[in-house]
Amino acid sequence: MRNAIPRRRQGGAVIITTALVLLFLLGFMGIALDFGHMFVVKTELQTAMDSCALAAARELDHHPTTAIDRARSAGMTAGNLNRVNMQSPTWSGQGQISAVDITFRDAAYAPTTNPALADYAQCQHTQPGVGMLLMQAIGAFSGDTAGNPPSRSVGATAVARRSHAQSTCPIPVALKPSAGGSAPDYGFTVGQWVTLINEQGASQGGEIGWANLDGSNNAAETEAELNGSCGTRMGDTLGTPGVQTSVADAWNARFGIYKASSGPDQKNPDFTGYAYTALNWPAAFNAYDGTPGAGAPASAQNFVAKRGTYASCADTGTKVKGANSCESITGLSLNSFQKLAVPGNVAGGHMQYGRDRRIVTVPVINSASHVIDFACMLMLQPLSIPMTNVQLEYRGNAGATGSPCTSSGLPGGMAGPLVPVLVR
């Protein structure tokens, strides 16, 4: 008769086996959870790199001195607004996107540092110190008490460039070609000041008139579209509205000029509100990056320079009226407006809330009000009260490689305005 194994010895073997199996399963669970953590961090970091590349590519307008600097600044700002490492706003203190993470390539995809040649923006960042927390616990359980938590590095890359769009987001005005003018510039010269006629129906060839992008004639729609409207395509028919004075609120907000009940935290201005009239820019030509001409005040600088200092409509001041004010610099009347966005790069309204709001896309229309192309223009002046004509500066065809206009819109078109798109 065989000897029976004592029940006590069998029970001890089961406990040991179960413990080993649980430790084995815990190891697999640790691997799954920690690598799941890494996957989340990778996804967050990729989103940040995509934002960085798209924002940087938007600035690549081939400007010979500023394009790359603007692109790096925009890329870092947009990318670092994202949260990484389980939605940490500081990326767990492991370092965010810096200037060295953003590089550029030319049309042949060769590395370049020349602003006039940069076509592609690449954002590449490695996030170190992604903790393997459960694996650390397992290590401690197994007797590893060295106190050095295991960690891994996670990297992501994105590349973007500007490409033609199927649709775009213009402002509700329409440019009529000059007599005999044809594509791509329709009789205009880059730097030329073009008049926006207050009475829409009175605009002639070589001028701009108000035009509703949805094809309606509703005056209230014009103001709504100035606050943002996307989807305009080649061939669309634009409306011919009458214009209400309330449109000045939306227009002037882009200059950081507000009535008492509003401000830059509610309606985003451009990075600068500095405006251009014959009073402070006697040349009446190329206010974008040119020189003011003889007789200009010493403080007069072009749009690119004023953007770099976050200047207000009153330059370094905050007054709408009186000495050293928006009105005294421009000679315009802003009767019902009381406030300016604060200038400067220390918590100023233009710096804190600024967006690309004055370099705008404008539909070009034919005699039947059909959209035949898109122009890029700089909004030069706020609207006066009572409303009068104002001017915009022609900056070229919106689809030109060096256009400073880059709109939001649906990519994939063969011509037309440019939008930033991811290519990698």
Instruction: Encode the chain (424 residues) as per-residue pLDDT tens digits.
Output: 455 555 555 556 667 776 666 666 665 565 666 677 788 889 999 999 999 999 999 899 898 888 999 899 999 999 999 999 888 999 988 899 999 999 999 999 999 999 999 999 999 999 987 866 655 555 544 455 455 556 788 999 999 999 888 888 999 999 999 999 999 999 999 999 999 988 756 778 889 999 999 999 988 899 999 998 888 999 999 998 877 888 999 999 999 999 988 999 999 999 999 999 999 999 999 999 999 999 999 999 999 999 999 999 999 999 999 999 999 999 999 998 999 999 998 888 999 999 999 999 999 999 999 999 999 999 999 998 888 899 999 999 999 988 998 877 777 777 778 889 999 8
**Ramachandran angles phi, psi of 109, nearest 5°:** 65, 30
Nearest-angstrom CA–CA distance, 92 and 365: 52
The per-residue pLDDT for 242 is: 78
* Helix H or strand E segment including 361: strand 359-365
Q: Among 328, 342, 339, 349, which Cα is nearest to 258's?
A: 339
The per-residue pLDDT for 132 is: 67
pTM of the shown model: 0.79
* pLDDT tens-digit readout, 225-249: 999 888 899 999 999 887 788 899 9
The per-residue pLDDT for 203 is: 77
Q: Helix axis angle, 7-58 relative to 133-141, nearest 10°?
A: 150
CB 378 within 8 A of CB 288: yes
Q: Is 262 helix (H, G, I), strand (E, B) or coil?
A: coil
Nearest-angstrom CA–CA distance, 212 and 223: 9
The per-residue pLDDT for 320 is: 96
The per-residue pLDDT for 42 is: 92
